Amino acid sequence: MKKYPYIIFVFVIISQLTFAQNKPKQLSEEDYYEIKTLPIPDNIKLEIGGVATMPDGRLGVCTRRGEVWVIENPYQLNGTQPNYTLFASGLHEALGLAYRDGSFYCCQRGELTKLTDTDADGKADLYESVANWDLSGNYHEYSYGPVFDKNGDMYLTFNVAWVGYGEGKLAKWRGWLVKIKKDGSLEPIATGLRSPAGFTVNSNGDVLYGENQGDWVGSGRVTHLEKGDFAGNAGGLWWTKEPESPLKYTTVKDVPDTGEPMFEAAKKMKSLKLPAVWFPHALMGISTADMIEDETGGKFGPFTGQYFVYDQGQSKAMRMTLEKVNGKYQGACYPFREGFQSGTLRARWGNDGSMFVGQTSRGWGATGKDLFGLQRLVWNGRVPFEMKTVSARPDGFEIEFTQPVNRSTAENFSSYELNSFIYKYQHQYGSPIINKEDTPLKGVIVSEDRMKVRLVLGNIRQGYIHQVMASGIQNDEGQPLLHDVSYYTLNEIPTGDLAKIPTRTVTPTPTKEVKIPAKKEKTGAVTNIKEGIVNTKEVMVLLKKHTCLACHAENTRVVGPSYTDIAKRNYSNEKILELVYKPEPENWPDYATEMAPMSHVPKADVLKIAAWINTLGKKKEKVDLNKIENRD
Amino acid sequence: MDSWLKKSPNDGDCGAIYHRWDEARGKGNEGYEGHPPRQNACKAPGLWNHLEIDFKAPTFDATGKKLTNARFNKVVLNGVTVHENIELLGVTRGGIAGEVAKAPFRIQGDHGQVAFKNFIYEVYEPSNITFSPANYEHYEGGVTNFTPKQSTPAAKGIIPKPTAKLASVQSGFLLKFQGTFNVPQTGEYTFTSMWNGMGALTIDGDTLVKGWYLQHEEQKKSKQLTQGEHTYTIVYAKDFTWRKNGLAVFIQRPLSEKDAFTERTSLPEPDPVPLVELKTSDDVVLQRSFLMYGKKKKTHVISAGMPTGLHFSYDLNQGSFLQCWRGKFLDATQMWHDRGEPQTADPMGVVVKASEKFPLAYLESNQTIFPDSVSKNDLKYKGYKLEKRWSFSGTYNYPDFMYEYKGLKVRDIVTPLDQADGVNRHIRFEGQSTQNMPLYALIAEGTDINEVATNRYAVDNQQYYVQVFPTETNKIILRESNGKKQLLMPLNGLKEVSYHLIF
């Protein structure tokens, strides 16, 4: 009897080793980038609107309740606690913070304020108005910034008011990017901004800003703003009547409100600036927030010179690469890191090359469940297997990877899913995906060092968003890409030599190692309802594929209502289809973020999802007698 | 009672519901069941207090047995709610009789000098309207413009009172209620309806209200009714899901209680919104917000909560001392709950409104109109500096508001007076003026201003006092301008001006 345990023990080890050799461990984002949560004292509502790192290792944050906290020991070396000191208070919804030469600069709703501690007691006692501007009193007139440029001038962005649509004329320069010079004077730079919560001045001195889906904005996007640009939302055009306006007098009637793609509208309207990168709604994020260029010189991983773009609603960071084609910025976005605790509004580099992420979700729905939070994103030194950059070529794209690819998986055509699409440019809120077409793969060239793959495509279309998905590609260890998709905004097609597609040496049949995920459908739990048979597993695959799960969950409120709550409305399947294609946000007044029309999702898929939603309702269709008979 | 400045008022103070008295409870314990006000809302002697009481008398049956207790539905003193829905279990001390359904209204003035004026009262009689049970029809499966898709009702029957709870769905239903009611006297009756969706109210065949409304869009219609029986029809239909089902119809005769046709639970309860209160602390608390000033929304306002319990709001755009109050500091719910769409903050104590004008102006003569506002070119807000200043209650950091006004550098400083009976406003100015006209300060403005003691004026129908400090060369001017009284002080040769605001 005594021998048996040993035998069993050995057997287990061998089987695990065998397993490990055949199937590598599924790696996830946290294996490379760790999210570290800073503890916040119980009595502080740290609803972060701005983050500013200080050269001495402390961290400043400002909050929507108008406080500025200075946090000592925010890196928590050796597991120690951070210490919070209230530096300033009483500001009005402070949504941006910067630190320079011993003072904080904070953007309130109606004022850019310089905060200085003149008596060295650790608290600001001088609140100087660097610049102030008019407000109408509309809550949506948020003001963001400042971001310093190299001259020491500061940029601010001003939301338009919300009156059922974005309105700029209620107060001067709403819907504009403005520059505040050192003497406090205000210079209007560009308009067309709707809800510009995040922007940056990059290492070239260029201003990039992120926009939220809404009226005139089909999807989230990042746009390079130069003097005199019009970025798309018509609300701010009112102020082009002013003599200081860098745009000539323009009204909403001059804007081609046709529902055709923005690049078509831009042909008719010279000042209309195309975004450098579209962030497809729900496929990437739902509410673009802060962005930050990787200037850490490798301390944050292999993405130096690239950008991290946050999404407030989905509590996550995305990655963005830019290149200049025909003198204009354009590029691609990629998933990067999910799972933050609240709405990720603000990000700033720490002194050690980690990133502080300031968060808030009060009144602004977010996937992260906390009302507010402060976290730090830290690279742990391992290089994830990623598409490092996707760049445009005259006949397709070139993907550069962070690790050598397995040649046979890279040369296999079925490793890729390629197509392109775009959004409508219109005064209505959001847009469905339109004009989606495949971009057939004509050839693949893998570089000598296997770090690059050139894709030669048919049907590449100028102005369109091109999906480059490479789910079949593996590295030498047999691991798939950590993120298999990117979206490239092809405003310009570069000139240059066309690729010479070699005679194909590899057969298109997948090798043994190549497994294209999610193609096989297993029979899942089946529920019988009168509308038909509903397969829960199949529906889950559809929900994921069409990115529904980005905003909805079965039982819990995320950005939108839970499916169980939707079921309670007793919509017919056809009505659900109608609402998915043409949402009526007024049906859900308690939710901050409007749903975008999802009319690109095939009808059959929506009806399957709708039938499943309605099975959730059937479980609890019971009249509450207590409620009916409740009397005084 | 003169309870002015008392920190913790008790049940014998101004705004209190006085206690009951029973000697049998033993010496020192005779008083019981009194209610102090939620906070002290009493103003200074010589100023008018404004008290609003909504009181429901106790009711008794024919044998004199008490059916319901007396109740203060609401008591508001100087704009501050000091009680709401407090039942009195018996007669309070000093009441002239035992508990009865109707008795004279008594005022008592035996604690020093007191004056009363402008009594306005309304006595509400029981309505004595009776309602028959209602016949109802309930249609489901869709509705367009008051017409249900199904021509036969899903259910019908008789219920005690109409209620929206009969609908088992949120949308696509129609409810029809019919019944009679009996009014005890001939007269004009007001019908108030509230519903989410479509509804119609018909009295004796006369359709008073018909249309699509949301619950808060109350509809009021009047109709002459003769004593006796009348018929009513209420139709309620809804074709959308995004508001809860809700239906209520009320009837009221002038000076009688309001009665409901509908069941109490037929209207949904309002969403629970917690109070977000900004409290005072061990130093001056400053908070910027939007502020409703009358009907105007001011966007660059800062409010200061001082440890002494005196607080003020200040318009940074115009350098104006808007208002001052005593009591709790700031209700920030409309700013910090959810998205905070109004973005306003509200004072939580007894407010006196001062002025929305910048206090300095260059005037051609003492007859020139004082400007209502100053442009941004003439008046530049520069920020504020927190300065440690001593007062009787301690040393705190008070803001000095800083401006540039037509060549002058101005500092505007507000601190509490020693006894916390008011505030001192101190305006300093230096530098070369760009103007050739003399400089004046506007100290107070109101419908009337009367000198009640040397250099002390009661302003705006005795809402507050100002104390001024004229000199031999700079005498106070009390003048009329644009139909209002104004207190002006010429500032020739001065570098500062101060005045006290007391209430």
Question: What's phi and psi for A415, nearest 5 deg?
Answer: -75, -10
Tokens of A280: 């497809």
Q: How confident is the model at residue A117 (pLDDT cuts 50, 70, 90)?
A: very high
Q: pLDDT tens digits for A264-315? A: 999 999 999 999 999 999 999 999 999 999 999 999 999 999 999 999 999 9
Q: pLDDT tens digits for B409-466? A: 999 999 999 888 999 999 999 998 878 899 999 999 999 999 999 999 999 999 999 9
DSSP state of A596: P
Q: What is the ipTM of this complex?
A: 0.89
The average pLDDT across A320-324 equals 98
Burial class (CB in 10 A: 0-12, 13-18, 19+), B314: buried
Question: What's phi and psi for B34, nearest 5 deg?
Answer: -90, 165
When the pLDDT of each residue in chain B is averaged and rounded to a whole number, the result is 95
Question: What's phi and psi for A441, nearest 5 deg?
Answer: -80, 125
pLDDT above 70 coverage of chain B, percent = 100
Which residue in A has a C-alpha nearest to residue B159's C-alpha? A629
Query: What DSSP line would sit under B83-116, residue for residue?
Result: EEEEEESSPPTT-SSSS-SS--------SS----
C-alpha–C-alpha distance, residues A256 and A252, integer Å: 9
The average pLDDT across A541-547 equals 82
Q: pLDDT value at position A6? A: 45
Neighbours of A412 (CB within 10 A): 22
Instruction: Using an 8 Å CB-CB cutoff, list chain B residues near A631.
Output: 263-265
The helix (run of H) or strand (run of E) holding residue A627 is: helix A625-628
Q: Where do the domains of chain B lie? A: 1-121, 130-266, 278-502
Decide which of A443, A464, A489 is a domain's last residue.
A489
User: Quick check: A513 pLDDT over 50?
Assistant: no
Q: Residues B176, B137: contact at Cβ < 8 Å? A: yes
Q: Sheet containing A277-279: which strands, arranged edge to edge?
A: A198-201, A207-211, A220-225, A277-279
Ranges assigned E (strand) in B273-407:
277-278, 285-293, 296-305, 310-315, 320-331, 346-353, 360-362, 379-391, 394-405
Alpha-carbon distance A311 to nearest alpha carbon in chain B (angstroms): 18
Q: Which residue's structure tokens are 């609003």?
A: B52
| CB proximity list for A338: less than 8 A, separation 6 or greater | A29, A314, A315, A316, A367
Which residue in A has a C-alpha nearest to residue B287's C-alpha? A90
Q: pLDDT value at position B393? A: 79
**Domain that includes residue A569, residue range:** 526-618
Q: pLDDT value at position A524? A: 43
Alpha-helix runs per DSSP H in A23-86: none
Axis crossing angle, helix A603-618 with helix A573-581, rounded to the nearest 10: 130
User: Quick check: A548 pLDDT over 70?
Assistant: yes
C-alpha–C-alpha distance, residues A220 and A214, integer Å: 9
The average pLDDT across A320-325 equals 98
Q: How far is CA B118 from CA A409, B45, B49, B54, B121, in A?
A: 92, 18, 11, 16, 10
Decide the pairing of beta strands A452-457 and A288-293: unpaired
Query: What DSSP line would sit under A406-439, residue for residue?
Result: PHHHHH-GGG-EEEEEEEB-SSSBS--EEEEEE-
Q: How confident is the model at residue B287 (pLDDT cuts 50, 70, 90)?
A: very high
pLDDT above 90 coverage of chain A, percent = 74
Q: How confident is the model at residue A528 (pLDDT cuts 50, 70, 90)?
A: very low
Question: What's phi and psi for A219, nearest 5 deg?
Answer: -160, 165
Q: pLDDT tens digits for A366-405? A: 999 999 999 999 999 999 999 999 999 999 999 999 999 9
User: Quick check: B151 pLDDT over 60?
Assistant: yes
Tokens of A613: 């939603």
* CA B307, B310, B313, B316 torsion-angle sign: negative
Does domain B130-266 correspond to CATH entry 1.10.620.20? no
User: Quick check: A527 pLDDT over 60?
Assistant: no
Instruction: Using an 8 Å CB-CB cutoff, list chain B residues near A64.
Output: 336
Q: pLDDT value at position A617? A: 63
The average pLDDT across B265-276 equals 92
Decide which of A489, A510, A544 is a domain's last residue.
A489
Tally the residues of chain A: 632
Q: How confident is the model at residue A518 (pLDDT cuts 50, 70, 90)?
A: very low
Q: How far is CA B313 from CA B103, B325, B327, B395, B414, in A?
A: 44, 9, 14, 21, 11
Do residues A532 and A476 share a domain? no
Least confident among A137-141, A162-166, B264-268, B392-396: B392-396
Higher pLDDT, A535 or B220: B220
Q: Residues A506, A520: contact at Cβ < 8 Å? A: no
Domain assignment present for A597: yes
Q: pLDDT tens digits for B351-391? A: 999 999 999 999 999 999 999 999 999 999 999 999 999 87
Tokens of A557: 């409120």
**Distance between first and last Cα of chain B:** 16
Tokens of A584: 């009526």
The helix (run of H) or strand (run of E) holding residue A579 is: helix A573-581
C-alpha–C-alpha distance, residues B303 and B351, integer Å: 13
C-alpha–C-alpha distance, residues A411 and A502, integer Å: 11
Axis crossing angle, helix A536-545 with helix A603-618, rounded to the nearest 10: 130
Q: pLDDT value at position A503? A: 59
- Identify which of A125, A134, A587 has the shortest CB distance to residue B397: A125
Q: pLDDT value at position A297? A: 96
DSSP state of A312: T
The average pLDDT across B60-69 equals 95
DSSP state of B371: P
Tokens of B157: 């029957």
| Contact between chains at B297 and A66 (C-beta distance less than 8 A) | no
C-alpha–C-alpha distance, residues A318 and A291, integer Å: 9
| CB proximity list for A369: less than 8 A, separation 6 or greater | A341, A342
Tally the residues of chain B: 503
The average pLDDT across A614-621 equals 63
| Contact between chains at B285 and A628 (C-beta distance less than 8 A) | no
User: Quick check: B126 pLDDT over 50?
Assistant: yes
CATH of residue A70's domain is 2.40.10.500
Q: pLDDT tens digits for A45-85? A: 999 999 999 999 999 999 999 999 999 999 999 999 999 99
Q: pLDDT value at position A535? A: 81
DSSP state of B96: S
The average pLDDT across A511-535 equals 47
Q: How confident is the model at residue A597 (pLDDT cuts 50, 70, 90)?
A: confident
User: Quick check: A552 pLDDT over 90?
Assistant: no
The average pLDDT across B208-226 equals 95
Do residues A410 and A467 share a domain? yes
Residue type, B167: A
Neighbours of A159 (CB within 10 A): 28
Do residues A482 and A434 share a domain? yes
C-alpha–C-alpha distance, residues B312 and B292, integer Å: 14
Q: How far is CA B51 from CA A160, A458, B81, B323, B327, in A?
A: 44, 82, 10, 20, 17
User: Quick check: B274 pLDDT over 60?
Assistant: yes
Q: How confident is the model at residue A551 (pLDDT cuts 50, 70, 90)?
A: confident
The average pLDDT across B97-101 equals 86
Decide which of A489, A517, A543 is a domain's last residue.
A489
C-alpha–C-alpha distance, residues A307 and A296, integer Å: 11
Instruction: Using an 8 Å CB-CB cutoff, list chain A residues near B263.
Output: 631
Interface test with A, best of B302, B336, B373, B381 (most A CBs within 10 A): B336
Q: pLDDT value at position B319? A: 98
DSSP state of A375: E
Q: Which residue's structure tokens are 């501050």?
A: B80
The helix (run of H) or strand (run of E) holding residue A617 is: helix A603-618
C-alpha–C-alpha distance, residues B383 and B477, integer Å: 31
Q: pLDDT value at position A630? A: 34
Q: pLDDT value at position A618? A: 60
| Contact between chains at B240 and A587 (C-beta distance less than 8 A) | yes
DSSP state of B269: P
- Identify which of A135, A584, A631 has the shortest CB distance to residue B299: A135
- Identify which of A64, A127, A587 has the shortest CB distance to residue B383: A127
Do residues A404 and A480 share a domain? yes
Q: pLDDT value at position A519? A: 38
| Contact between chains at B386 and A137 (C-beta distance less than 8 A) | no
When the pLDDT of each residue in chain A is averaged and rounded to a whole number, the result is 89
Domain assignment present for A150: no
- Identify which of A90, A126, A630 has the shortest CB distance to residue B286: A90
Domain assignment present for A70: yes
- Identify which of A126, A129, A136 has the shortest CB distance to residue B381: A129
Interface test with B, best of A44, A87, A132 (most B CBs within 10 A): A132
| CB proximity list for B234: less than 8 A, separation 6 or greater | B162, B175, B176, B177, B178, B199, B200, B201, B202, B247, B249, B261, B262
Instruction: Write down the number of H helices and E strands in chain B.
Output: 1, 38
Alpha-carbon distance A128 to nearest alpha carbon in chain B (angstroms): 4
Tokens of A548: 């529904």
Q: pLDDT tens digits for A581-590? A: 888 877 787 7
Do residues A532 and A485 share a domain? no
Q: Residues A414, A468: contact at Cβ < 8 Å? A: no
Residue type, B348: M
Higher pLDDT, A207 or B142: A207
Q: Which residue's structure tokens are 């530049």?
A: B380
- Greatest Cα pair distance, chain A, in angstroms, is 96
pLDDT above 70 coverage of chain A, percent = 89
Instruction: Write down the number of H helices and E strands in chain A.
Output: 8, 36
Beta bridge partners of B77: B51, B80
Beta bridge partners of B391: B394
What value, to the nearest 5°, has the Cα angle with vertex A127 and ends B360 and A121?
Answer: 130
User: Quick check: A525 pLDDT over 60?
Assistant: no
- Identify which of B170, B286, B340 has the shortest CB distance to residue A139: B340
| Contact between chains at B240 and A135 (C-beta distance less than 8 A) | no
- Identify which of A108, A569, A631 has the shortest CB distance to residue B288: A108
Looking at the 3D structure of chain A, how many domains does it have?
Answer: 3
Do residues A535 and A469 share a domain? no
Q: How confident is the model at residue A538 (pLDDT cuts 50, 70, 90)?
A: confident
A361 touches chain B (CB under 8 A): no
The average pLDDT across B21-43 equals 95
Tokens of B339: 């998205």
Instruction: Using an 8 Å CB-CB cutoff, list chain A residues near B297.
Output: 137
* CA A188, A193, A194, A197 torsion-angle sign: negative
Question: What's phi and psi for A264, nearest 5 deg?
Answer: -70, -45
Q: pLDDT tens digits for B169-182? A: 989 999 999 999 99
For the ranges A428-442, A531-545, A576-590, B90-104, the maximum mean pLDDT occurs at A428-442
CATH of residue A398's domain is 2.60.40.1220
User: Quick check: A523 pLDDT over 80?
Assistant: no
Q: pLDDT value at position A24? A: 65
Alpha-carbon distance A420 to nearest alpha carbon in chain B (angstroms): 37
Single out the residue of B457, B479, B349 nearest to residue B46, CA to CA: B457
A588 touches chain B (CB under 8 A): yes
Q: What is the 3-state secondary structure (H, E, C) of A483-504?
A: CCEEEEECCCCCCCCCCCCCCC
User: Quick check: A624 pLDDT over 50?
Assistant: no
Query: What DSSP line would sit under B150-197, residue for residue?
Result: SSS-SEEEEESS--GGG--SSSSEEEEEEEEEEESS-EEEEEEEEESE
Torsion of CA A187, A189, A194, A197, to 10 degrees: -80
Q: pLDDT value at position A146? A: 98
Do residues A466 and A541 share a domain? no
C-alpha–C-alpha distance, residues A6 and A312, integer Å: 54
